[in-house]
Structure 1
Amino acid sequence: MSAVTKLNERSREIFRLIVDAYMETGEPVGSRTLSRRLDLALSPATIRNVMSDLEEAGLLFAPHTSAGRLPTEAGLRMFVNGLLEVGRLTENERTAIEAKCAALGRSYGDVLEQATTTLSGLANCAGLVMAPKQDDRLKHMEFVSLGPNRALVVMVSDNGMVENRVIELPAGLPPSALMEAGNYVNARLNGRTIEEAKLFIQHELEQHRAQLDALSQKVVEAGLATWTGGDDAGYLIVRGQARLLEDVTALEDLERIRTLFQTLETKESLMRLLEATNKGEGVQIFIGSENELFGLAGCSMIVAPYANSREQVLGAIGVIGPTRMNYARIIPMVDYTAKIIGRMIG
């Protein structure tokens, strides 16, 4: 029997009102406030008794000896799993997500960044996207000059995905070297992944170093090094931290969020979170310290995996916010954005 079904109707209603008030204000709720909001005719003394029972059950706690109650992380989990009524996106919200993602064409990185920014703006939280190392086989690579000492590297995979990267060039590099470097790389791609191509070229450079133009060699090495690969397990894009911090006034909450960002930026934690997200179906919700990945309370994360047309999971997108975030509104937003990303990347 779940914790929700063990509660009678009166206890469920009081608990729901406490959680609703917490998500709205972040402040403890007292019995007198609840007596005015309840449809049931209950005295403050009766409400206090129910709150005491909920506290003994581990669903509420009193932050101060005098005042009302706040939901515990276990209480929030029970609320999300058993009492939350998930809303629906408005037509305007759907249109905004679709339009802003679609406007960026087929660039994988740009789609992810724009989707994260859009989700952050709509949810009023910090948006994030996690993506593993890409092992697509390359079909073409091109170097385009962007002026003195800078170039755009355009990489096209065999499935049609395009990745653009800006790199710094050695000073004084002649324009012809970019074309020569592109021809050199493309002649050796032959359906290899970026890592395979990199290893192959490095091996060839070692064997024929004296026969190759030194500047072209530097361009090749710089271009290949820009891809996420090698010892780097993946990358993390975070957008909208300012929106999250606007909603957090307490210094202790701010510090928790900063710590969480630092934790997520480590390779091991990033991939563990991505794996945990991929194991479940649909939207995954991590509340406070209930997941060992975080090791701290005060923050929640709502994430959903996104997949390509072959149903291969490529990453996850979601938001980070205080535990009192608007779950009912944000859950469908994350779910829909993940579906749009999957549709865009094909």
Structure 2
Amino acid sequence: MGNSEQHISDLSERAKCLLRALVESYIRDGQPVGSRTLARTAGLDLSPASIRNVMADLEDMGLVTSPHTSAGRIPTPLGYRLFVDALLEVKPLESLEVRRLKEQLNPDLDTKHLVESASGILSAITQLAGMVRVPRQEHAALRQIEFLRLSQGHVLVILVMNKNEVHNRILQLERDYTQAELQQMAAYLNEHLVGRDLQDVRSQILKEMRTVREHLNSLMLAAIDLGERALSPDAESEADVVFAGQVHLMDYAELCSVDKLRQLFEVFNEKRELLSLLDKCIDAEGVKIFIGQESGQRLLDDCSIVTAPYSVAGRIVGFLGVIGPTRMPYDRVIPVVDITAKLLGAALNSRN
């Protein structure tokens, strides 16, 4: 942020006005902006020569740059940063839009569908890729665990959490168990684990059960091992981020080369980079914006990410946001991300 604060103090009011007009024009049209266009859109009584002089100064400061193919200029990531920090006018959403969002984020939906709905809403409204980090479940109570034999060595784990939230996952085991054995194992785990906080289940309770291994038969020992795998945080990682609308990114010329799209979709598929980025925001309040290289992820150098946390019982449990080109309409995206985070948190809160 320091760089943008320094630059804004160096700019005259005329330069700020022209930079704002240039960024807004480029966001809107995606075309390098020439002096004549600026003269028409900035509302300043300046000659083309005066505008060119200001543009040269902005270029020297690293705020705009000239593509090889055009005499016009486009913002640099630093120019976007200054625009977002100091020149942007964010317009709040209209009450009708907020009401529609509330209707779609219905508290009666289970967590999975709430998260999917929030991601879809973000994408539909912004026409960018929406993402929601699934709420962390450390403080969820386990109500029931069941195992269902699918095929040799493959078991479906059914976890019932809190108010009948159901989580399913498939485990591949080293040996095969009959359905009767799996039912015995589930009964043993339910006897010891049901009603306990998930964090306790993962650590304290399973640890206690391991300390009395010599008193357990082989099936109960197997139940402990299976329970640890079924409840491990790693098993949840595949569902940690829910995406929607990645195809929207193909509408932007600067992202739609085959190589760039392949790299972007690798990021979506792998998820690790985005998870680490979102986890950096754990102490952040309100909307946070990463422009270009600020994300620290090389494959996202041509993108901006706008995120906001959502909370349950006053505690941040996840993040949501959008990914798009650096020339996204920040004035529209920021309030959408902000209000969606608040409404998702409210929907989750109302059930606790």
TM-score, length-scaled by structure 2: 0.80
**Residue 208 in structure 1 maps to residue 227 in structure 2:** no
Where 1:286 maps in the other structure, the secondary structure is: strand
Report the CA distance shift for 1:222/1:114 in structure 2 as closer, same or farther (over 3 A).
farther
Q: Could you tell me which residue of structure 2 aligns to residue 154 of structure 1?
A: 159
Residues 304 and 198 of structure 1: is their aligned pair in 2 closer, same or farther, counting only changes over 3 Å? same
- Contact (CA 8 Å) 1:129, 1:315: kept in 2 or not? yes
Which runs of structure 2 are paired with 1:128-167 in the superposition (5 Å)?
128-131=131-134, 134-136=137-139, 138-143=141-146, 153-157=158-162, 160=163, 162-167=165-170
Q: 1:326 maps to what in 2?
A: 329
Indicate whether 1:265 and 2:271 are aligned.
yes
RMSD of the TM alignment (CA)?
3.5
Task: Name the SS for the 1:39 alignment partner.
Answer: coil
Query: Is 2:157–2:170's contact at 8 Å kept on the other side of the alignment?
Result: yes
Give 1:81 deviation, angstroms: 0.7
CA drift at 1:17:
1.3
8 A contact 2:149–2:177 mirrored in 1: no
Give me the identity figure in percent.
32
Structure 1 residue aligned with 2:261: 254
C-alpha displacement at 1:213, in angstroms?
10
Q: Residues 35 and 134 of structure 1: is their aligned pair in 2 closer, same or farther, counting only changes over 3 Å?
A: same
- In structure 2, the CA distance between the partners of 1:150 and 1:123, relative to structure 1 (3 Å rule), is farther
The one-letter amino acid of 2:160's match is: M
Judge conservation of contact 1:303–1:334 (CA < 8 Å) in 2.
yes
1 CA distance for matches of 2:79 and 2:337?
22
Q: Within the alignment, does 1:240 sit opposite 2:248 as a pair?
A: no
The letter for the 2-side match of 1:13 is C
Question: After the TM superposition, which of the residue ranges 125-134 and 76-85 deviates more from structure 2?
Answer: 125-134
Distance change (3 Å), C-alpha of 1:257 and 1:92: farther
AA of the residue aligned to 1:334:
V
Q: Check whether the contact 1:151–1:169 (CA below 8 A) recurs between aligned residues.
A: no
CA distance in 2, matches of 1:27, 1:110: 39
Give the distance between the partners of 1:64 and 1:153, measured in 2 at CA.
58
User: Which residue is equivalent to 1:119?
Assistant: 122
Distance of aligned partners of 1:200 and 1:150 in 2 relative to their CA distance in 1, 3 Å threshold:
same
Matched residue type, 2:251:
E
Letter paired with 1:237: V
Q: Kindly state the Cα deviation for residue 260 of structure 1 after the two structures are TM-superposed.
A: 4.7
Tell me the CA shift for residue 179 of structure 1: 5.1
1:298 aligned onto 2:276 = no
- 2:31 is aligned with 1:27: yes
Q: Where in structure 2 are the equivalents of 1:1-346 lying within 5 Å?
A: 2-64=6-68, 66-102=70-106, 105=109, 107-131=110-134, 134-136=137-139, 138-143=141-146, 153-157=158-162, 160=163, 162-167=165-170, 173-174=178-179, 180-189=184-193, 191=196, 193=199, 194-196=201-203, 197-198=205-206, 208-210=216-218, 217=223, 225-227=229-231, 229-230=233-234, 235-248=240-253, 250-251=256-257, 253-254=260-261, 257-258=264-265, 260-261=267-268, 265-266=271-272, 270-271=275-276, 273-294=277-298, 297-309=301-313, 311-346=314-349
Deviations, residues 126-169 of structure 1 (Å, cap 9, x unaligned)? 11123575322634214387999875613224xx5834224479
**Could you say what secondary structure the match of 1:277 adopts?**
coil
Query: Contact 1:144–1:178 (CA<8 Å) still a contact in 2?
Result: yes
How far is the alpha carbon of 1:100 from its aligned partner? 2.3
Supply the AA of the counterpart residue of 1:318.
G
The SS at the match of 1:109 is helix
Structure 1 residues 49 and 341, CA, compared in 2 at 3 Å: closer, same or farther? same
For 1:198 and 1:244, the matched residues in 2 are separated by: 45
Q: Which secondary structure does the structure 1 equivalent of 2:168 belong to?
A: strand
Query: Is the 2:144–2:159 contact (alpha carbons within 8 Å) kept by the matching residues of 1?
Result: yes
State how many pairs are aligned: 334
| Unaligned 5+ runs, structure 1 | none
CA-to-aligned-CA distance 1:8-37 (integer Å, 9 cap, x gap) = 222122111110111112221111222232
Question: Contact (CA 8 Å) 1:101, 1:111: kept in 2 or not?
Answer: yes
The secondary structure found in structure 2 opposite 1:58 is coil
2:211 & 2:320 partners in 1: Cα distance?
37
Q: Matched residue of 2:19: which SS?
A: helix
With over 3 angstroms needed to count, the CA separation of the structure-2 counterparts of 1:43 and 1:278, relative to structure 1, is: same
Cα pair 2:147 2:186 within 8 Å, conserved: no
* Aligned 8 A contact 1:138 1:189 in 2: no
SS at the partner of 1:245?
Answer: helix
Structure 2 gaps, min length 5: none
Letter in 2 for 1:238: F
